[in-house]
C-alpha cells in the first residue's frame, strides 16, 4: 500500500496564479483533511471531508477550495495564490469515529508564492 | 476551547541520555491527547495516544507519556535517546474529545529534538 500520497512535492507560483494539490489514499478511509504547516504555528486545519461528496471548513479556510468527488481523492485548490499561502501543505486521512484521531499523513507539498 | 502548549521549541540531548518533551493542555473536560512525530521531510506519524484509560501510555520506539490531570500535563519521555529520534514532536488534543463527525485535532507548535552523538 502506498498510504497517503501528495502531488506535487514542490511548486513555485506567482501571485494570482491558480493551482490544485492532489491527495490520494488507498486505505479506504472515509475522512480526509488538508492542513498547512507554518514555522512556529504547528499544523492548522484548512478543510476536511467526512465522506465522498462532502466537505467542511476548518480553522483557516479562506483562499482555498476543496473537492471530494471520489472517496480516495481530496483536492485542494488555490484560485488566486497570495504570498501568505507560502507554506507546507499536508493531507491526511483516517477511519471514522471513534478512530478518527489516528490520522495518516502524506509527505507534504512545499508551496512558494512569489 | 481545547488547546495545548509545548513548553520548549528546541531540545537537545546526547545519545543514550533521557528525553523529556513537555506539553500542557487546557480543557474544560477530560481530553483525548496524542503525540505525533515528524521526521525531516516526512509526514506526521502517530506516536501514542491517551483516551481516558491508563494514565501511563506506551507508544512506538520506546516512547511513553503520562497524563497528569492535577498538573494538566502530558509530557513525552524516553529513557535513552537514539540518533534516529531526531525529529519534530507535536502534542495534540482532540476537539471535542468524545467523537462526532466534526472531531478535529488541535496541534501544538512543535518541539524540535536534536540528538548529539
B68-86, pLDDT tens digit by residue? 989 999 999 999 999 999 9
Query: What are the residues whose beta carbons fall under 8 Å from the beta carbon of A68, sequence distance 6 or more?
Result: A32, A49, A51, A52, A53, A54, A55, A74, A75
Other beta carbons within 10 Å of B35: 25
Max intra-chain CA distance, chain A: 41
Instruction: Read off the pLDDT of each residue in B110-114 and give the average, rounded to a whole number.
Output: 96
Q: Is the Cβ of A106 closer than 8 Å to some Cβ of chain B? A: yes
pLDDT tens, position by position, A43-67: 999 999 989 999 999 889 999 999 9
* pLDDT (0 to 100) of residue A100: 64
Query: What are the residues whose beta carbons fall under 8 Å from the beta carbon of A53, sequence distance 6 or more?
Result: A68, A69
Report whether B109 contacts B9 (CB < 8 A): yes
Q: Do B109 and A105 touch (CB under 8 A)?
A: no
Report whether A63 contacts A78 (CB < 8 A): yes
Q: Is the Cβ of B69 closer than 8 Å to some Cβ of chain A? A: no
Q: How far apart are CA B25 and CA A16, in angstroms?
A: 39
* pLDDT (0 to 100) of residue B56: 93
Taking 80 as the threshold, does the pLDDT of residue B37 lie above it?
Answer: yes
Taking 80 as the threshold, does the pLDDT of residue B105 lie above it?
Answer: yes
Q: Most A CBs within 10 Å: which of B101, B109, B111, B112, as the mutation test of the A interface?
A: B101
Grid cell 534516529 — which residue? B84
Q: Comparing A24-28, A62-66, A102-106, B71-75, which segment has the lowest mean pLDDT?
A: A102-106
Q: How far apart are CA A66 and CA B103, in angstroms?
A: 19
Q: Is the Cβ of A56 closer than 8 Å to some Cβ of chain B? A: yes
Task: Give the nearest chain A residue to B6 (CA atoms).
Answer: A42
Query: What are the residues whose beta carbons fall under 8 Å from the beta carbon of B84, sequence distance 6 or more?
Result: B61
Grid cell 516526512 — which residue? B42
Instruction: Output phi, psi for B109, to 5 deg.
Output: -85, -5
Instruction: Read off the pLDDT of each residue in B39-60 and give the average, rounded to a whole number.
Output: 88
Confidence of residue B90 (pLDDT cuts 50, 70, 90): very high
Q: B9: which chain A residues are within 8 Å (Cβ-Cβ)?
A: 40
Amino acid at each position: 500500500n502506498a498510504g497517503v500520497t501528495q502531488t506535487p512535492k514542490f511548486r513555485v507560483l506567482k501571485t494570482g496564479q491558480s493551482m490544485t494539490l492532489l491527495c490520494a489514499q488507498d486505505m479506504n478511509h472515509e475522512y480526509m483533511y488538508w492542513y498547512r504547516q507554518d514555522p512556529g504555528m504547528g499544523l492548522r486545519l484548512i478543510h476536511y471531508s467526512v465522506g465522498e461528496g462532502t466537505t467542511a471548513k476548518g480553522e483557516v479556510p479562506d483562499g482555498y477550495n476543496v473537492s471530494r468527488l471520489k472517496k480516495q481523492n481530496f483536492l485542494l485548490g488555490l484560485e488566486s495564490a497570495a504570498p501568505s499561502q507560502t507554506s507546507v501543505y499536508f493531507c491526511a486521512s483516517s477511519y471514522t469515529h471513534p478512530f478518527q484521531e489516528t490520522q495518516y499523513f502524506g509527505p507534504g507539498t512545499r508551496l512558494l508564492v512569489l | 476551547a481545547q488547546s495545548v502548549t509545548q513548553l520548549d521549541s528546541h531540545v537537545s540531548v546526547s545519545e543514550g541520555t533521557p528525553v523529556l518533551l513537555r506539553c500542557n493542555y487546557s480543557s474544560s473536560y477530560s481530553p483525548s491527547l496524542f503525540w505525533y512525530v515528524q521526521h525531516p521531510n516526512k509526514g506526521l506519524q502517530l506516536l501514542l495516544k491517551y483516551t481516558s484509560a491508563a494514565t501511563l501510555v506506551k507508544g512506538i520506539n520506546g516512547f511513553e507519556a503520562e497524563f497528569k490531570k492535577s498538573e494538566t500535563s502530558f509530557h513525552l519521555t524516553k529513557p535513552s535517546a537514539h540518533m534516529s529520534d531526531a525529529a519534530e514532536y507535536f502534542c495534540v488534543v482532540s476537539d471535542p474529545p468524545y467523537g462526532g463527525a466534526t472531531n478535529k485535532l488541535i496541534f501544538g507548535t512543535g518541539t524540535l529534538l536534536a540528538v548529539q552523538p
